[in-house]
Amino acid sequence: MRGAARLYPSRKAYYGPLPRQRHHYGGWYTMTEENRPLIGPMGPDGAFMNCPSSGYGTRAACAGGALCASWVAQAPLPAYARKFSLSRYDGPTLIATLRTANRDIL
């Protein structure tokens, strides 16, 4: 909580009731195979998603929210928008490239 208060100063209100010697692991992170967020339209018309950010969370929240809002508002999208949408699975090229890149890293 103390670390989060650096990003969100309003969290300081919770300092008192928290035990000082406790820690909490962030929980179970959902992620895609290639560990990239899914942002954009999904399933039924009018439904959109901005998930999973698996480990990027706070750092990616504003950019992901802005991209999702552009999809919702049917505003012009940046060139990279489809690389974060479900449509990236429509063709094998991007996913094959990402798998190769991930394999090279590991």
23 domain-assigned: no
pLDDT in tens, 56-85: 667 788 889 999 999 999 999 999 999 899
In a domain, 12, yes or no: no
> Do the domain assignments include residue 21?
no
Name 78's Cβ contacts closer than 8 Å, sequence gap at least 6: 67, 70
SS3 category, 60: helix
> Domain range holding 71?
30-105
Give the chain's domain count. Answer: 1
Q: pLDDT digit string (tens) for 12-63?
A: 787 776 666 666 556 666 778 777 889 999 988 899 999 887 666 677 888 8
How far apart are the C-alpha atoms of 73 and 41, rounded to whole Å? 11
Instruction: Using CB atoms within 10 Å of the CB of residue 82, give its burial: 0 to 12 exposed, 13 to 18 middle, 19+ buried.
Output: middle
